[in-house]
Structure 1
């Protein structure tokens, strides 16, 4: 009989979305038994909504609960590393929101801990899930798309002073970065999920929209390891919110939907070079099962890997790619030159990308 995993969630902000879109969509696979939050009103509101009996304010208490299988970390970013290491040491499986850690050095500490741990760690990158992005991934992996040429990734969102009227947002010490870290990180992960790893980065960052410490506008140029050229644009000053990928390959051009928070959903525009390619793509996608969107799809995929004893569907290696890109963008802006990846021990941004 398949196991039903008991979950404890730390942080009832984005944690509520993990429950409503993820765990609650799979009641045969997961049971959220405990919620942990310092805000008692928010804790009780979410617990009441989902009929969760366990309600605590101490993460230490949650770590010590023997009947909790998975700890899902949805706190502000600065304490992610501490909680991940604590949960792995307690023998739990761990799910953690972005960013996984506050530096590449911390990420290497987490990787070392995971290698010795009983449980596994899955970073959250929910934009990988949905019919649109998964169909495109299948086409690319089949070889039908051919050689990649260029791509654009646009994260054009709106955040104002009211959003930053919060004790941890907009500050290097607690948010760890700006639009790159909190907003564009998911679309940029989707980009590399489809276009492969990055070789070099040139970038500019600026704080133009809000009076905050961190950046809220970015422009970057990427050279991918497969030779493709990609441009990234991100801002928190767009009057219309969209997230958009457009990828030009030898045989197909792809364009995501423009939904700011679920660009992985279908349909995507799939524009073949000719009728023959179009027919092959149609045959490839025929009968492809539907893929759950966002947290739904990721939690379903996570369950399958837990049951099979496989690595999770999103790994610390994937998280490293995201954090290396962010560190490279900050470094490129600082030195006014392009930056080669990977960023490893000894690099000036390895210990911290924060100024």
Structure 2
């Protein structure tokens, strides 16, 4: 696998890289990692855009040949448009095509071979987090745009290394799957907040309280810093924290606590934080995998209304509620309730916007600095919890131990000879 270490002045991108704009043809897509998230979330989105003439899948890659072949077969069943040249002869095998022009042409076990042979326009990465950096860098160097599942990489240093490989004008760029930013409800509330129609945002609450049992952590890469990057703050709460930042804007400082209360893991299994935003708003953030009554929630109290989102893994218009203050005119309050046509938060909505960005050569949302801010908040949360200090935005950079690892080498949290600490240990701020 290619790494991100490059000689100064060296451009590793393919001389025929598919730099935008890309008008008049389908976006050629490859999927790396063909597990549940690829099948259940990405494949339906790709199928929809294929039906609209926007995309075609040219390859699927998985270390398990059978999984890659199965993905191809499922894609054929749902009628995903195939790239030209479908047929046997490459990778580990090719799914049978179900109907004219449908199916995935080629399945691989080697992503580097796939990039060399297929030269896709867009690579979707659905592998464990420890693989994200190298796979993203390899795709960028091959000239492909990247859409990577969260968490994008295990550290800020890794994120900056990836960003250094991006194109300067027109791409290729690497973006993160942050689908909760998308959908009609988010767009409506974001506009109201940007216009300050409900007054200034003052107080907020961001909650990802889910439940994961011991069997969940039996998967070898889960619960370990090196392979997962962090605990529920990194792997679960990142979506709601990203949405909170998308709605409220830049954060300025954080004070946090983290605990390892139940699970026999290296990372935390619960964290809480106080976050101050650049606009003066203050928020509480809770991330947990210890909560039988599961919920994802964001609440923002503005001067003239309270906005609340309550859901679990995705939201529609009716998951949002806007409660006006008593003195708000009824006509104005009624207008706030008009969310428009119901478009759920989804991979489809984000992919549609990403494809549009590719066609005009614009940096997509949830990439670059816009994607980095959520990862920086998580790094600051960990640093605050493990060092008993308030952490400012922009504080964590090269030379800071939390820049290269979310645990920051903190005693009781950093891996010691590969052994996780015992349940019940806590770090508090």
* Same fold at TM > 0.5: yes
* 1:105-126 CA-partner distances (Å, limit 9, x unpaired): 2222222211458412221101
1:4 to 2:26 alignment: yes
User: How many residues end up aligned between the 2 structures?
Assistant: 354
Instruction: Name the SS of the counterpart of 2:216 in structure 1.
Output: coil
Please give the root-mean-square deviation of Cα atoms over the aligned residues, in Å: 2.0
Determine the C-alpha separation between the residues in 2 that align with 1:265 and 1:47: 34
Question: Are 1:9 and 1:74, in contact at CA under 8 Å, matched by a contact in 2?
Answer: yes
1:306 to 2:358 alignment: yes
Deviation at 1:275, TM superposition (A): 6.9
Question: Are 1:133 and 1:256, in contact at CA under 8 Å, matched by a contact in 2?
Answer: no
Q: Which runs of 4+ in 1 moved over 6 A?
A: none
1:30 to 2:55 alignment: yes
Instruction: Name the SS of the counterpart of 2:31 in structure 1.
Output: strand
1:156 to 2:156 alignment: no
Structure 1 or 2: larger helix share? 1
TM-score of the superposed pair, with normalisation by structure 1:
0.93
Show the 5 A alignment for 1:62-77. 62-77=114-129
Larger deviation, residues 263-272 vs 192-201: 263-272
Look at both structures and tell me which one has the larger radius of gyration over its CA atoms.
Answer: 2
Larger deviation, residues 4-13 vs 137-146: 137-146
* 1:89-141 CA-partner distances (Å, limit 9, x unpaired): 11111111112222212222222211458412221101112222221112112
Task: Give the one of 239, 252, 255 matched to 1:199.
Answer: 252
1:56 to 2:79 alignment: no
Determine the C-alpha separation between the residues in 2 that align with 1:241 and 1:284: 28
Task: Give the one of 303, 308, 317 matched to 2:369.
Answer: 317
Determine the C-alpha separation between the residues in 2 that align with 1:99 and 1:333: 20
* Cross-structure match for 1:39: 64
C-alpha spacing 1:55/1:231, structure 2 compared with 1 (3 Å)? same
1 or 2 for the larger relative contact order (CA 8 Å, sep ≥6)?
1
Question: Are 1:148 and 1:228, in contact at CA under 8 Å, matched by a contact in 2?
Answer: yes
Unaligned runs of 5+ in 1: none
Show the 5 A alignment for 1:114-193. 114-116=166-168, 118-193=171-246
* Cross-structure match for 1:214: 267
Determine the C-alpha separation between the residues in 2 that align with 1:49 and 1:280: 48
Question: Are 2:154 and 2:230, in contact at CA under 8 Å, matched by a contact in 1?
Answer: no
